[in-house]
A and B are shown apart, each in its own frame.
Chain A
Amino acid sequence: MAKRIDVSDLNIYYGDFLAVEDVTVSIEPRSVTALIGPSGCGKSTFLRSINRMHEVLPGARVEGKIIMDGQDLYGPDVDPVAVRRQIGMVFQRPNPFPTMSIYDNVAAGLRLNNKKMRKSELDDLVERSLRGANLWTEVKDRLNRPGSGLSGGQQQRLCIARAIAVEPDVLLMDEPCSALDPISTLAIEDLMAELKDRFTIVIVTHNMQQAARVSEQTGFFNLSGVGQPGRLIEFNPTEKIFSNPDQKATEDYISGRFG
């Protein structure tokens, strides 16, 4: 469980367009790493490149290396599907499968991959995952109701339960709270604090207070102009970033004196 990720000299392209340039960073296991920065600076693109999700778009490709515990995720014989099984993802908008019940949504990662499992084992796994996502008490009486009938915050925790049910090593979160109210946001932040004992968590957020609250390490992305590639400006412990950053640009962004 919980693996370390080393990224070196990573360039990410969409077709000929260089979207993110020259990222070198080490993401520590069993901790929360936050990525902040203005819109369009490439932090989501970088996040999606970690589990090879950005390849879903035609023409997207990377140069450089992402190594997870000694294994190069972009090695020639690595199957992107296998990478995604080890590195789960939670998206900005909650996206439970509308045709499935709450139970089936949590079990989806196993069911869709045709993993055979005894009913009792699957029940256990679903309960464990829902408990892990702090959702069990709210839904235990209606596991067979459709997942889309839950509130936004509950749906997002359902998606987290679905992601952790397949036991990944790393959990990527792409602005998981931006569509949620403050109460649901708090619930998910508390959840992150619990989950980081078991998973390596990387979260993209626009909310700097959130980054300050939940993360141990923070990376600041920025771009010098429209059409220019995004760059990782600074990567440091969260405390340092928010009190005494190395870079002027980071300080300007955090204190709101940006642009």
Chain B
Amino acid sequence: MAALDLVTSMNVALYALGTVALGTALLYGFSRSVEGPRSAKDRLVTCVVCSAFALAMVPLVSLAWEVVRRGAERLDGQFFTWSLLGVVGEGGGAYHAIMGTLVITLLTTAISVPIGLMTAIYLVEYGRGRLKRAITFLVDVMTGIPSIVAGLFAYALFVVFFGPGVRMGLAGAVALSVLMIPVVVRSAEEVLKLVPNELREAAYALGVPKWRTVVKVVIPTAIAGLGTGVTLAIARVIGETAPLLVTVGIANATNVDPLDGRMATLPVYAYYQLTQPGVPPEFAIDRAWTAALVLIVLVMGLNLVARLISRLFAPTTGR
């Protein structure tokens, strides 16, 4: 049955693709003979560009649709108020995972934003020569670190202090910080570079020292962009799974103390519910889909917050 479904859906896809290709070819030929080669070329490229866009939208729409459809199953009050403590089979929720994700993300932000922001300020306002180049290069390298490597790094670091087998929220936050800092540095750097040099000179000419110019003129001017950058960086790390798998593990009970052992987080929760659903598996798999939906909504909410920040704090120019 499933195989048959696959074949028919494949056929539908092929059919659609064929129609588009044939239609494009026909339109091109027709247009060339009636309107001339210039318009024909224009129509051809329009068709190709639109088809490419439609093709790119297919996985996005299908993913959103599937997550909403299957996640809606368990989108109830219990999901947001219960943990998995003592739950076998039906029911249960992800309260503990949502809280864990919030705690760890907050902690990650608290670590990454000061370090990232100060690095960016150094690079834009103070850095020059070899040290600046070296830091820029290292930030570039950090951007490319695979997330599991960041997790292993944090795990190895915490093993030094707490012995092998250590699992705690703080370790997860450190691992995520390794991933988040370069994103914050990069976005903050771009935004700070956009602050016109004339404003810095205006402040210097008033006899304002450099550090105070940075704190009171440059940063307030760039605050909208900085807020947006930080929010998007949070959105980038909130869905990370691998590093949390290594450093934080999973728990069935609610634990919001990042210094006290295992914690549940949404991505890891979804992973375990899907890979170790127990018997019968439906209930756990439903929970995994709802966890995925909540995660997507969280990230989307953060993106909206970012837009709101950039609109609220943007320097006003109205007359």
Contacts and interface: CB of A to CB of B under 8 A. Distances in A.
Q: Are A and B part of the same complex?
A: yes
Contacts of B317: 98, 146, 148-149
Interface stretch (B162-170, B195-203, B299-307): B195-203
B208 to A, nearest CB: 4
Nearest to B213: A112
Contact of A113 (B199, B200, B212, B220): B212
B23 interface: no
A95 B201 CA distance: 9
B316 interface: yes
B77 interface: no
A89 interface: yes
A149 B199 CA distance: 16
A162 B206 contact: yes
B207 to A, nearest CB: 3
Nearest to B129: A58
B319 interface: yes
Contacts of B206: 84-85, 88, 108-109, 112-113, 162-163, 166
Contacts of B204: 53, 56, 81, 84
A64 B198 CA distance: 28
A255 B235 CA distance: 65
Contact of B202 (A97, A114, A149): A97
Interface string B131-151: 000000000000000000000
Ranked nearest first, the 9 interchain pairs of A and B with the lowest CB-CB distance are A85-B207, A98-B315, A89-B205, A95-B198, A109-B206, A149-B319, A84-B207, A112-B208, A99-B220
A97 B198 contact: no
Contacts of A183: none
A53 B204 CA distance: 8
B59 interface: no
Nearest to B319: A149
B13 to A, nearest CB: 52
A91 B319 contact: no
A146 B223 CA distance: 16
Given A53-B205, A113-B207, A146 B318 contact: yes
A102 B217 CA distance: 15
Contacts of A148: 315-317
A51 to B, nearest CB: 7
Q: How large is the interface on B (under 10, 10 to 19, 20 to 34, 35 or more residues)?
A: 20 to 34
B86 interface: no
Contacts of A84: 204-207
B280 interface: no
A226 interface: no
Contacts of A53: 201, 204-205
Main secondary structure of the interface of B (DSSP, over half): helix
A93 B206 CA distance: 16
B10 to A, nearest CB: 56
A117 interface: no
Nearest to B202: A95
A7 B86 CA distance: 85
30 contacts: A51-B205, A53-B204, A58-B128, A81-B208, A81-B209, A84-B206, A91-B198, A91-B201, A93-B198, A95-B196, A95-B199, A96-B202, A97-B217, A98-B199, A98-B315, A99-B217, A99-B220, A99-B223, A108-B203, A108-B206, A109-B206, A112-B208, A112-B217, A145-B318, A145-B319, A146-B316, A148-B315, A149-B317, A163-B206, A166-B206
Interface string A69-94: 00000000000011011101101010
Contacts of A150: 319
Nearest to A108: B206
A150 B319 CA distance: 7
A109 B200 CA distance: 13
A201 interface: no
Given A56-B201, A84-B206, A149-B317, 16 more contacts: A88-B206, A93-B198, A95-B201, A96-B202, A97-B202, A98-B199, A98-B221, A98-B317, A99-B315, A111-B216, A112-B217, A113-B208, A145-B319, A148-B317, A162-B202, A166-B206
B103 to A, nearest CB: 34
A241 B203 CA distance: 35
Interface in A161-208: 162-163, 166
Contacts of A108: 203, 206
